[in-house]
Amino acid sequence: MMAAATATAALDVSVETPLHRLVRKFVANRIALSGLVVFAAITLLAVAAPLVAPQNPYDLATLDIIDGSLEPGMTNIDGKPYLLGTDEQGRDMLSAILYGLRISIGIGVGSTVIALVIGLALGLFAAYSGGWRDTLVMRLVDLQLGFPPILIALILLAILGRGVDKVMIALVALQWAYYARTVRATALVERRKEYIEAARCLALPYSRIVFGHLMPNCLPPLIVVATMQVAHAIALEATLSFLGVGVPVTEPSLGMLIANGFDFMMSGRYWVSFFPGITLLVTVVSINLVGDHLRDILNPRLQK
């Protein structure tokens, strides 16, 4: 009876896939879980911005200059409340923030996904083919990682000009190297393991070994890097837009909103840039909490 119970328990453990274990360990940490919940809520609000925002902040017909520079919580003469105040054109800051989040998160997540695919492909290619191809890719990675990201972004945007697509190109160009390096390092370890050898002995085609066997096992460390990179990308995009080299005025991200409020802050109207800043901060911190914990879970040195 006892032996049977032990056997079932042992069976349960062996049935648990790495993904299940990951989810179980992740959910066990309250701080990381709340980070994920907060980020999910922010993303949902951003996606649903046209439905939940009190106003379309870029439809000039809904703006009235009389409502300009209202303090947070004030109502205009019609009794319409402005929870986070308005800017000088009478734009509701809450609506502007929700629409800004769409652009910020869209650029951050979009560029990360594109860079991830490129980095994954190049990293696998370098690790699996070896030789001069490997050297070429890794020299390129070294070259790029030798410079701080903001400098490379400034170089690219100085050449390309402003625009949502151009910021995304710059962010993709910045990020791919991190993924390529991570994937290559993991793939070099994984390709020596038995299951790859087994797949080779079965004479499986090259593409199936790389994409069906090698790639899935290189993903865990990549997920950690990608999570952190989404936060970096959002913060960097905000910085570039603040500097005036990022998104154009017509598509204001959070960074752009903060920059717009900079002049008003000097005259004490803090809310125009304070609340977009808080939103940016909460978004970045929630992603970092998730990433930090994922790293702890997946770090073999911390596993007991």
Partner 1 sequence: MGYVINRLLQGLTVIAVMAVLVFVGVYAIGNPVDMLISPEADQAEIDATIARMGLDKPLWLQFLVFLKGAAHGDLGTSFIYNEPAVRLILERFPATLELALAAILIAVLIGIPLGVIAGLKPEQPTGRGIMAVSILGFSLPTFWVGMMLIMIFAVWLGWLPSTGRGDTVSFLGIQVSFLTVSGLRHLILPAVNLALFKTSLVIRLSRAGTREVIGQDYIKFARAKGLPESRVILVHLLKNMMIPVVTVLGLEFGSVVAFAVVTETVFSWPGIGKLLISSIVHLDRPVIVAYLMLTVMLFVTINFAVDLIYAALDPRIRRKESA
Among 10, 40, 189, 281, binds partner 1 (CB under 8 A): 281
Query: What single-letter amino acid sits at 116?
Result: L
Residue 249 sits at φ, ψ, to 5 deg, of -60, -30
Query: Which residue, 218 or 254, is less far from partner 1 as judged by CB?
Result: 254
Q: Which of 227, 202, 199 is nearest to 215 (CA)?
A: 199
Query: Which residue, 180 or 228, is less far from partner 1 as judged by CB?
Result: 228
Question: How many residues make contact with partner 1 (CB under 8 A)?
Answer: 36
Query: Which residue, 97 or 245, is less far from partner 1 as judged by CB?
Result: 245
Query: Which residue, 35 or 119, is less far from partner 1 as judged by CB?
Result: 35
Among 36, 116, 138, 258, binds partner 1 (CB under 8 A): 258
Should residue 42 be labelled a site residue for partner 1 when binding is judged by CB under 8 A? no
The nearest distance, CB 64 to partner 1, in angstroms, is 28
The nearest distance, CB 264 to partner 1, in angstroms, is 11
Query: Which residue, 139 or 193, is less far from partner 1 as judged by CB?
Result: 139
Among 79, 131, 268, 300, binds partner 1 (CB under 8 A): 268
Residue 162 sits at φ, ψ, to 5 deg, of -85, 160
Provide the 8-state DSSP code for 61: G
- Name which of residues 105 to 164 contact partner 1 (CB under 8 A): 143, 146-148, 150-151, 154-155, 157-159
Query: Which residue, 34 or 75, is less far from partner 1 as judged by CB?
Result: 34
Should residue 249 be labelled a site residue for partner 1 when binding is judged by CB under 8 A? no
The nearest distance, CB 284 to partner 1, in angstroms, is 5
Should residue 38 be labelled a site residue for partner 1 when binding is judged by CB under 8 A? no
Q: Are 220 and 303 in contact (CB under 8 A)?
A: no
Alpha helix (H) residue ranges in the chain: 2-15, 18-28, 30-47, 49-52, 93-129, 131-145, 149-160, 164-190, 194-201, 206-208, 215-243, 254-266, 271-298
Residue 181 β-bridge partners = none
Query: Which region among 10-18, 37-45, 169-177, 231-239 touches partner 1 (by CB under 8 A)?
Result: 231-239
Query: Which region among 38-46, 49-57, 237-245, 293-301 touches partner 1 (by CB under 8 A)?
Result: 237-245
Among 170, 177, 235, 297, binds partner 1 (CB under 8 A): 235
Query: Which residue, 46 or 215, is less far from partner 1 as judged by CB?
Result: 46
Among 116, 183, 231, 233, binds partner 1 (CB under 8 A): 231
Q: Are 217 and 194 in contact (CB under 8 A)?
A: no
- Name which of residues 284 to 303 contact partner 1 (CB under 8 A): 284-285, 288-289, 292
Please tell me the distance from the alpha carbon of residue 138 to that of residue 187, in angstroms, as a whole number: 14
**Which residues have CB under 8 Å from 152's CB, separation 6+?**
144, 170, 173, 174
Q: Which of 94, 58, 104 is nearest to 233 (CA)?
A: 104
Q: Supply the angle between the helices 254-266 and 93-129 in degrees, to the nearest 10.
A: 130
Per DSSP, the residues of 131-172 read HHHHHHHHHHHHHHHTS-HHHHHHHHHHHH-S-HHHHHHHHH
**Residue ranges binding partner 1 (CB under 8 A):** 143, 146-148, 150-151, 154-155, 157-159, 231, 235, 238-239, 242-245, 255, 258, 262, 265-266, 268, 270, 273-274, 277, 280-281, 284-285, 288-289, 292
